[in-house]
Amino acid sequence: AALAPAVVLKTGFYILVWYTFSTCLTLYNKTLLGDKLGKFPAPLLMNTVHFALQAALSKIILLFQAKGIDSAVEMSWKDYFMRVVPTALGTALDINLSNASLVFITVTFATMVCQPQNVNRHRQYSFCY
């Protein structure tokens, strides 16, 4: 039951890309929100724009998938509020609070704390749902 070398390399590549993009986003946010450089006056507005762009790009990707938009899963309001809303609120709080903290902490410390936290959060979500 050994893993194929191609699978290990592919997984390592995806992890490396994820860490690279995460670090680049942290540096960008530090530059924009930091105490010395950017001092952007509305960090929550910036996060809202990022979330809106992410939602729009996700919708475009779904439109171009083989299944198309017609294969959407029907979900009751109870399921929506029990499953989607807590995850969305937790993610929004995580990102907004970590961006707000970039004013006070170094990028090295933020990267050291946030990246293992993201792995643990995704693992917890996968066990919950």
Q: Are 46 and 103 in contact (CB under 8 A)?
A: no
Task: With respect to residue 117, please indicate whether it lies within any of the assigned structural domains.
Answer: yes
Residue 122 belongs to what domain range? 5-41+75-128
Q: How far apart are CA 19 and CA 102, in angstroms?
A: 18
Residue 64, domain member (yes or no): no
- The 10s digit of each residue's pLDDT in 24-54 is 887 887 788 776 756 777 777 888 888 888 8
For residue 33, which amino acid is it? L
Q: Does 17 reside within a domain? A: yes
Q: What is the pTM of this model?
A: 0.56
* Total domains, the chain: 1
Check: CB of residue 34 under 8 Å from CB of residue 100. Answer: no
The answer to whether residue 89 is domain-embedded is yes
80 within some domain: yes
DSSP track, 59-109: HHHHHHSSS-GGGPPP--HHHIIIIIHHHHHHHHHHHHHHHHHTTTS-HHH
The length of the chain in residues reads 129
- In this predicted model, what pLDDT tens digit does every residue of 56-101 receive, in sequence order? 988 888 777 766 555 667 889 999 899 888 888 888 887 788 777 7
The verdict on residue 63 lying in a domain is no
Whether 49 maps to a domain, the answer reads no
The answer to the question of residue 16 being in a domain is yes
